[in-house]
Amino acid sequence: MTSEIINDSSAIREEGVDDLIRPREPTSSDGRLKRLLTKKFIIGAVVVLAIVLFGVVGPFFSQDPRAINNIGLTPPSSQHLLGTTQIGADILAQLAYSTRGSLIVGVSVAALTLFLSAFFGILGAYIGGVVDDAFSLFTNVMLVIPGLPLVIVIASYIQNKSVFLVIIVLALTGWAAGARVLRSQTLSVRNRDYVLASRVSGEKTWRVIAVEILPNLLPVMSSGFVFSTLGAILAEAGLSFVGIGATGALTWGTMLSDASNGQALLFGAWWWFAPPGILIAILGAGLSLINFSLDEVINPRLRVHKMPKTEKKVTAS
Amino acid sequence: MTTLQVKNLCKDFRLRSGMKTSILSAVKDVSFELVPGRTIALVGQSGSGKSTVARMIAQLERPTSGEILLDGKPAATRGGGLKRYREEVQMVFQDPFASLNAFHRVGHHLERPIILHKIASGREAVRAKAIELLERVQLTPGEDYIDRRPHELSGGQRQRVAIARALAPSPSVLIADEPVSMLDVSIRLGVLNLLADLQRSENLGVLYITHDLATARHFSDHLMVMYKGEVVEEGTPDDVILHPQAEFTRKLTMAAPEPARNERFLRAAKNYPPRTQGSTAVEDQPRGVA
Amino acid sequence: MSEKTPVLSVRSLSVDYLGDRTVHAVRDVSLVVGRGEIVGLAGESGCGKSTFAYGVNQLLRPPALITGGEVVFHDRSGQDINVLELEKKDLRAYRWDKVSMVFQGAMNSLNPVTSIRSQMADVFTTHRPDMSRKDRLARSRELLELVGVDPGRLGSYAHELSGGMRQRVMIAMALALNPQLMIMDEPTTALDVVVQREILTEIMRLREELGFAVIFITHDLPMLLEISDRIAIMRAGQILELGTAEDIYFDAQNDYTRKLLTSFPSLTGERGDFIRGSASDRETAVI
């Protein structure tokens, strides 16, 4: 136990030593950018970019995803590269449109979430006092309202749910956690000397927030953005799968839902349910990889110090 | 010629722990007057309230009671009045690694106050003024420093940038909150001497806040010792340090390492030629003026 | 001091930090510490003084790497231990038993969720497994008394103690196994001057009583002058000057040493390198 304590403290100190020996770690944007470009990040970015490209460009080159054909459920062929659904619709075309649909939902929800959490988190924490109390109370209330039941309630009131409505509901139920993270970050940043110094220089409040505080929250915010994109895509897929998603839209969730209703599993029609499932998984993995590398930039302690490969040579010499 | 007056300044902090609230009196009844060209040193240990005094004067913290007067008029706390107050009263922070925003270049930190206080207008003029400020704090040539990022500078250079930023609006009062305590010892004197130089050339009133009695003695005209929020003793530095009256001051002066009065070194002095004695080994200095 | 038998001999120790560009943190440093001697290691941030201390105790982790040199510990029993060749179990036994350390932030490395008593007992359960529960408690009380903390505080938790008290507890823990050498890395830097003085007095008294040697690392040269027998001035990974405290104070040979000395204005004496006088002699000041 004791030796563990000692080792621990030495680890803490070693960071200190580190600090002393080297010029301080670059913390500026270019230094961070350099540290961001890890293998993890590059793989994640390539995967995500490929899927985005497919979602953006795919629909222009594919067939009509809703065209009904009486050939029915057919496996992949040269006519239909990924086969057809029960009603003969081309699955590759459906996949392209669904990718677009899911990505739109994900990015829109993430953008809205980011805006809401930044507004309530950063502004409340910076102004402090009553505003902060009110904002955090509201945030906490929103935090405990579960998204799924809320959507079910809304679904029972509205018959024709547009994608837009789904986006709004997901954003409204999803921003609170991010706001809390941003609030705590802002609380720590707003009392840093450079923020105080800019106040002493006479900067106006909005400029202090926008120019001095916001840049330092960017890593946290971008990590939050990536995270909520992924969360929204999964949530939308879940909603659509249980049949309370947007009506008439095409997303990965609706594809899976259709496949399940069309008893694709029973017929062994893997070409119907596998592609959207795989895309969800790959996109999730890609976004997570990006998120991990963002986290490592934000929190250097997560980085693993690897011994350079030259170690043995050095000891030998 | 602007005089800063502080009258009966008090600050209470409300501490919330669970359901209980307690009140911590961080600063109790502090008064002093800072005239141009003079330095007041505020000495105290951590938690003595000395930094809270600095923050209140810099209007980063509201006093619970008491007054801050600039030329006899109460300091404005908002709007244009506050801006004019900030033109007169500026502050240098303790930690030069924290007081510059790592996200921005050196130039940003200097150009903003120049623009805000309308010292110069137009891109080129503002930049020229920023370069001039850098050179005033002996970062020459200024062009070499203005586009660097804070992490590319040493601690001493950063603190010089921070001083330049405080000088940008041509203030008449400068609050220096432990300006050298985070710096390496061999560069501390350089920065302090720079502050002393600037004070003379700009006729600044300086409030020098520190935990180090020795530099306070050499750097100030008037010394105030703070303990638990109160000023327990004040007077000329030599009076306070060489003949301390308050119990706490006595403790403080006795605790400070000082080989010059240590028996062991007094005894050993006989064995060494007097020329090279310790910290007074500077030839071109007139001896014994202090 | 040199006639004393050595407790630790370091010969040409070198430590590198491997990275994009390798930093030679400690370069070819040799130092002999006599039994019961206080050796001060003075230098500014980045001079390698901490790295040296960690290297001596084999506490460095990648990317720091010992690239050369030898560290020999001369045990009380007459046995010589080659520290850099120790492996896991022996190294662990060596560390707290023969050489203990007190760090700058040590007071913050106390575990916040267990009491002082159980943390002190841990030292004994690890290194003296056959000690009885009763003996452990008795020894813990004795140690606290030794460093001037009321043994009644054994049941306290770290946050209930002041910074100075916590540092005393850490010193008590470092003393627990009666080490022959203590390495103290800025043990008082985070403390106020008055508390710092108390702790230093305590360390001096304990050294007198127990006869351990100390390597004391700090940037505060005046403080080092008062407590050390010998002082090594370090810069850029090398020892520039090594001598008795008196030699360093009165007769420093190296320019950098002299610069360091003049960097601390005297509290009661003359002005030194300080250009600004009091208001009366401002006119005469040299700019």
Query: Coil, strand or helix: which one is B4?
Result: strand
Answer yes or no: is pLDDT of B231 > 90: yes
Separation between Cα atoms, residue A197 and residue A212, nearest integer Å = 10
Q: What is the mean pLDDT of residues B275-283?
A: 43
Instruction: Tell me the pTM.
Output: 0.78
Query: Coil, strand or helix: which one is C259?
Result: helix
Give the angle C123-C125-C126 at the CA atoms, nearest 5°. 65
Query: Coil, strand or helix: which one is A177?
Result: helix
Q: Which amino acid is at A143?
A: L
Half-sphere exposure of C23 (CA within 13 A, CB side): 19
What's the pLDDT at A75?
75
Task: Please report, for chain B, the start and end positions of each structural domain, with discontinuous segments joined by +.
Answer: 4-15+24-268
Q: Using only the alpha carbons of chain A, give its radius of gyration.
A: 25
Q: Do residues A89 and A67 touch, judged by C-beta distance below 8 A?
A: yes
**Cβ of residue B78 closer than 8 Å to a chain A Cβ:** no
Task: Please report, for chain A, the start and end positions of each structural domain, with discontinuous segments joined by +.
Answer: 26-64+85-301
Give the angle B280-C40-A3 at the CA atoms, nearest 5°. 150
Q: How confident is the model at residue B209 (pLDDT cuts 50, 70, 90)?
A: very high
Give the angle B36-B40-B42 at the CA atoms, nearest 5°. 150
Chain A residue closest in CA terms to C124 = A2
- The residue assigned the tokens 């005297």 is C266
Q: Which of residues 214-273 of C touch A (CB under 8 A)?
A: none
Separation between Cα atoms, residue B57 and residue A89, nearest integer Å = 74
Mind telling me how many Å the CA of B96 is from chain A's nearest CA? 9
Closest Cα to residue C222, out of C253, C188, C263? C263
β B20-34/B89-92 pair status: unpaired
Q: What is the mean pLDDT of residues A35-53?
A: 86
Chain B residues touching C220 at Cβ < 8 A: 185, 257
What's the pLDDT at C3?
52
Mind telling me how many Å the CA of B215 is from chain A's nearest CA? 23
What's the pLDDT at B289?
34
Q: Do residues B195 and B206 touch, judged by C-beta distance below 8 A?
A: yes
Q: Which of residues 236-255 of B touch C (CB under 8 A)?
A: 236-238, 241-242, 251-255
Separation between Cα atoms, residue B76 and residue B258, nearest integer Å = 44
* Contact assignment for B91 to A193 by CB distance below 8 Å: no
DSSP symbols for A206-220: HHIIIIIIHHHHHHH
What's the pLDDT at A299?
65
Separation between Cα atoms, residue C180 and residue B101, nearest integer Å = 47
Closest Cα to residue B265, out of C274, C228, C42? C228
Separation between Cα atoms, residue C187 and residue C203, nearest integer Å = 11
Separation between Cα atoms, residue C263 and residue C219, nearest integer Å = 11
Rounded to the nearest integer, the mean pLDDT of chain B is 86
What's the pLDDT at A23?
39
What's the pLDDT at C155?
85
User: Which stretches within chain A are classed as H helix?
Assistant: 2-21, 29-36, 39-61, 91-118, 124-127, 129-144, 147-157, 163-190, 193-201, 205-207, 214-241, 252-261, 264-267, 270-298, 311-316
What's the pLDDT at B11?
92
Query: Coil, strand or helix: which one is C269?
Result: coil
Chain B residues touching C275 at Cβ < 8 A: 193, 196-197
Answer yes or no: is pLDDT of B164 > 90: yes
First to last CA, chain C: 43
Q: Do residues C123 and C137 touch, judged by C-beta distance below 8 A?
A: no
What's the pLDDT at B158?
92
Answer yes or no: is pLDDT of B192 > 50: yes
First to last CA, chain A: 36
> What domains are defined for chain C?
6-106+179-272 (3.40.50.300)
Distant-in-sequence, close-in-space partners of C85: CB < 8 Å, separation ≥ 6: none
Rounded to the nearest integer, the mean pLDDT of chain A is 77
Other CB atoms within 10 A of residue C31 CB? 21
Higher pLDDT, A145 or A124: A124
Q: Residue A40 has which token pair?
A: 């993890």
β C6-17/C64-74 pair status: antiparallel
What's the pLDDT at C1?
43
Other CB atoms within 10 A of residue C219 CB? 20
Residue ranges in chain C modelled with pLDDT below 50: 1-2, 275, 277-287
Ramachandran angles phi, psi of B57, nearest 5° = -70, -35
Q: How confident is the model at residue A259 (pLDDT cuts 50, 70, 90)?
A: confident
Omega within 30 of 0 (cis) for the link into C63 = yes
Q: DSSP letter at A119?
A: I
Separation between Cα atoms, residue B262 and residue B266, nearest integer Å = 6
Q: Do residues C168 and C148 touch, judged by C-beta distance below 8 A?
A: yes
Answer yes or no: is pLDDT of A191 > 90: no
Omega within 30 of 0 (cis) for the link into A146 = no
Please give the share of chain A, as a percent, with pLDDT higher than 70: 82
Give the angle A224-A230-A235 at the CA atoms, nearest 5°. 115
What's the pLDDT at B52?
92
Separation between Cα atoms, residue B225 and residue B50, nearest integer Å = 9
Give the angle A242-A246-A247 at the CA atoms, nearest 5°. 95
Ramachandran angles phi, psi of A43, nearest 5° = -60, -50
CATH 1.10.3720.10 fits A26-64+85-301, yes or no: yes
* Contact assignment for C249 to B261 by CB distance below 8 Å: no
Chain A residue closest in CA terms to B99 = A194
What's the pLDDT at A34?
67
Distant-in-sequence, close-in-space partners of C276: CB < 8 Å, separation ≥ 6: B192, B193, B196, B218, B219, C282, C285
Which residues on neighbouring strands pair with residue C32, listed in sequence order? C9
Q: Do residues C195 and C201 touch, judged by C-beta distance below 8 A?
A: no
Render pLDDT for B232-255 as a digit per residue (tens, 0 to 9).
999 999 889 889 999 999 988 888
Separation between Cα atoms, residue A69 and residue A88, nearest integer Å = 4
Residues of chain A that touch chain B, judged by Cβ-Cβ distance less than 8 Å: 23-29, 31, 192-203, 211-212, 215-216
The CATH number corresponding to B4-15+24-268 among 1.10.540.10, 3.40.605.10, 3.40.50.300, 1.10.238.10 equals 3.40.50.300
Answer yes or no: is pLDDT of A2 > 70: no
Q: Residue C193 has which token pair?
A: 């001057």
Distant-in-sequence, close-in-space partners of B64: CB < 8 Å, separation ≥ 6: B10, B11, B12
Mind telling me how many Å the CA of C171 is from chain A's nearest CA? 13
Render pLDDT for B94-108 as a digit per residue (tens, 0 to 9).
888 889 988 889 999
Q: Which amino acid is at C221?
A: L
Separation between Cα atoms, residue C183 and residue C181, nearest integer Å = 7
Q: Which candidate from C273, C277, C281 shows the least CB-CB separation from B189?
A: C273
Answer yes or no: is pLDDT of B282 > 80: no
Q: Residue B5 has which token pair?
A: 């007056």
Mind telling me how many Å the CA of A192 is from chain B's nearest CA? 7
Closest Cα to residue C213, out of C32, C52, C17, C28? C32
Candidate from A18-32, A234-248, B97-111 with smallest mean pLDDT: A18-32
Closest Cα to residue A182, out of A234, A130, A139? A139
